[in-house]
Amino acid sequence: MKYDQARWQREDEDRYEPLLSEKDGERVDVDDAPLPDDLTRDSLDLPEISEPELARHYTRLSQMNYGVDSGPYPLGSCTMKYNPKFTEDVAALPGAQVHPDRSAESVQGTLELMHGLQDYLARIGGMDAVSLQPPAGAAGEFTGILVAKAYHEANGEGHRDEIIVPDSAHGTNFASAAMGGYDVVELPSGDDGRVDLDALEAAAGEDTALFMLTNPNTLGLFERDIEEIADVVHDVGGLLYYDGANLNALLGQARPGDMGFDIMHYNVHKTFATPHGGGGPGAGPVGVVSDLAEFLPAPRVRETENGYERFDPENTIGKVHGFAGNWLVLVKTYAYIARLGDAGLADASAKAVLNANYLAEQIDYEVPHGPFHHEFVASAGDQDAADVAKRMLDYGVHPPTTKWPEIVPEALMTEPTEVENRETLDQLAEAFNAVAREDEDALADAPQRTTAKRIDQADAARNLRLSWQSLDE
Ligand SMILES: Cc1ncc(COP(=O)(O)O)c(C=O)c1O
């Protein structure tokens, strides 16, 4: 179909014309209303400062922060990898700025990209159909659970009310299962940190709706028995869910669909390259095997002989987000996959695995289990893992995830990601090893060299202070 920009612009104008009114020659879509006096610029008590003062203020603020653009950020499981800036450029292209309510005919390029991304993700995961709607990995889990529920109900199996989750799983797995209305059955890991097949056989039965698993698991260990695991779950009529948080270890090497998984989500910020979100816009597309496709959230995008169109899957669970999901995050995901290609993706996962294994070899803390994929979990032993983390900040690096998974005492869960070079990995190892040699006092007083010292982390994350406050307040 030929893209006729002028025509679609006219169509949009016709559609919105009745909603618009004239003001000073400009068309606006809201009526005039007086501004409250206390919100006008004149009433604001703003400081008068010069440009250099302003520039220094914001530069100083930025230096108080630590991010992937400042240094290594080996936060295990969270996968804080560097997001290449070209994806931002792509998302900033004028063609990406489209209103989600526009007619399908007028946004064929947008729909083609979404269709292409559905295909990319399906191919990477070994799935048959993908929905781009969920806005985060956890939202993808919840969506996948609702899809599984709809599938079981449609097959007269609505009595299945249990979801099995390994004790090493991320907290969102337990939470999503409970939010979906299921009883959560926690599965203890075997001595090797992997799924214990006997325990799984004992837990699985006619009430099992789903078994949620990530592979490699949160210890960075590949579940070698994955085919037997899939058989155990399928033999009792359950479905196997893949938590895609660790898919960056498998890209181009192996696919969840080929291992027997029926449903999966993709954490696009961990596997590809989009910002992690911090509660902000993210994306957690969900993929399924063909039997489950009819239940996916609406809308999806398909190709017809007249171009691309949105459609509602036959027995859709409905919508889990506005419109088609967080569109610009999806644009960045598409750009990253298209730029790297099959070989680039396989190379990224190979380097993620190499970096984790290299770093695990360099550090003096005990690292139980192995061999690893993209992350490993060391034990801080007699030290408190949270203290170790605070002290590492003094050595100028971001610490790993701590105290989880609980099956490793005083866990230091470390994921260097594929983007770090050998010098940076050595710098990380030096920080680990320097802290490992230190005594309790040095650790208890840490951090000494950061702007904020020990803060209440839960409070700081939940009650953000977004404006300047004096220290006495
Ligand atoms: C193993 C695992 N599963 C699920 C999630 C949830 O993903 P998201 O942060 O995209 O909601 C995470 C997040 O770190 C994770 O590590």
CATH code assigned at 274: 3.40.640.10
**Could you tell me if residue 31 is inside a domain?**
no
- Where among 317, 339, 361 does a domain terminate? 339
**Could you tell me if residue 441 is inside a domain?**
yes
Q: How far apart are the first and last CA of the chain?
A: 62
Ligand 1 probe mutation, 77, 142, 377, most atoms within 8 A of CB = 77
- Where among 339, 369, 400 does a domain terminate? 339
Instruction: Write b or e for each residue in 278-314: b if 16 or more Cβ atoms lie within 10 A of its Cβ, otherwise e.
Output: eeeebbbbbbbbeebbbbbbbbbbeeeeeebbeeebe
Residue whose CA is at the smallest distance from ligand 1 atom 10 = 137
What pLDDT is stored for residue 412 in this prediction?
A: 98
Residue 348 CA to residue 271 CA, distance in Å, equals: 9
What pLDDT is stored for residue 1 in this prediction?
A: 44
Would you list the DSSP string of 177-232?
HHHTTPEEEEEPBPTTSSB-HHHHHHH-STTEEEEEE-SS-TTS---TTHHHHHHH
What pLDDT is stored for residue 8 in this prediction?
A: 62
Residue whose CA is at the smallest distance from ligand 1 atom 13 = 78
Instruction: Say whether both 191 and 150 belong to one domain.
Output: yes
Quick check: pTM over 0.95?
A: no
CA distances from 127 to 240, 254, 262, 392 (A): 13, 12, 8, 41
Ligand 1 probe mutation, 267, 269, 404, 414, most atoms within 8 A of CB = 267
What pLDDT is stored for residue 29 in this prediction?
A: 67
Q: Which two tokens stand for residue 467?
A: 């404006």
Instruction: Say whether both 241 and 330 belong to one domain.
Output: yes
> What distance in angstroms lies between residue 112's CA and the mean position of ligand 1's atoms?
28
Instruction: Say whether both 376 and 264 belong to one domain.
Output: no
Instruction: Say whether both 291 and 264 belong to one domain.
Output: yes
- Residues touching ligand 1 (Cβ under 6 Å) are 77-78, 136-138, 170, 172, 214, 218, 243, 245, 267, 282, 284
> What distance in angstroms lies between residue 468's CA and the mean position of ligand 1's atoms?
32
Q: Are 150 and 295 in contact, with CB atoms under 8 Å apart? A: yes
- List the one residue out of 143, 140, 148 whose CA is nearest residue 164: 148
What pLDDT is stored for residue 278 in this prediction?
A: 61
* Kind of pairing between the strands at 286-288 and 307-311: unpaired
The residue with tokens 């653009």 is: 69
Instruction: Say whether both 331 and 358 belong to one domain.
Output: no
- Where among 339, 362, 377 does a domain terminate? 339
Instruction: Say whether both 229 and 321 belong to one domain.
Output: yes
Q: Cis omega (within 30 of 0) on the bond before 405? A: yes
Instruction: Say whether both 204 and 309 belong to one domain.
Output: yes
> What distance in angstroms lies between residue 404's CA and the mean position of ligand 1's atoms?
13
Instruction: Say whether both 177 and 319 belong to one domain.
Output: yes
Give the residue numbers spanning the domain of 440.
341-449
- List the one residue out of 181, 92, 175, 178 whose CA is nearest residue 137: 175
Alpha-carbon torsion 82, 84, 87, 88, what sign? positive
Ligand 1 probe mutation, 78, 172, 415, most atoms within 8 A of CB = 172
Instruction: Say whether both 382 and 335 belong to one domain.
Output: no
Instruction: Say whether both 195 and 327 belong to one domain.
Output: yes
**Could you tell me if residue 23 is inside a domain?**
no
Where is 300: in which H helix or E strand?
Answer: strand 300-304
- Ligand 1 atom with least separation from CA of 244: 3
**Could you tell me if residue 73 is inside a domain?**
no
Instruction: Say whether both 275 and 233 belong to one domain.
Output: yes
CATH no. for residue 431?
3.90.1150.10
> What distance in angstroms lies between residue 9's CA and the mean position of ligand 1's atoms?
40
- Ligand 1 atom with least separation from CA of 246: 1
Q: What is the pLDDT along the chain (473 residues), one digit of tens a residue?
A: 455 656 666 665 665 554 555 555 666 666 777 777 777 777 777 888 999 999 999 999 888 888 888 999 999 998 998 989 999 999 999 889 998 889 999 999 999 999 999 999 999 999 999 999 999 999 999 999 999 999 999 999 999 999 999 999 999 999 999 999 999 999 999 999 999 999 999 999 999 999 999 999 999 999 999 999 999 999 999 999 999 999 999 999 999 999 999 999 999 999 998 887 665 688 999 999 999 999 999 999 999 999 999 999 999 999 999 998 999 999 999 999 999 999 999 999 999 999 999 999 999 999 998 889 999 999 999 999 999 999 999 999 999 999 999 999 999 999 999 999 999 999 999 999 999 999 999 999 999 999 888 888 888 888 887 776 766 65
**Could you tell me if residue 37 is inside a domain?**
no
What pLDDT is stored for residue 34 in this prediction?
A: 77
**For the chain, what is the domain count?**
2
Instruction: Say whether both 202 and 188 belong to one domain.
Output: yes
**Could you tell me if residue 126 is inside a domain?**
yes
> What distance in angstroms lies between residue 170's CA and the mean position of ligand 1's atoms?
7
**Could you tell me if residue 63 is inside a domain?**
no
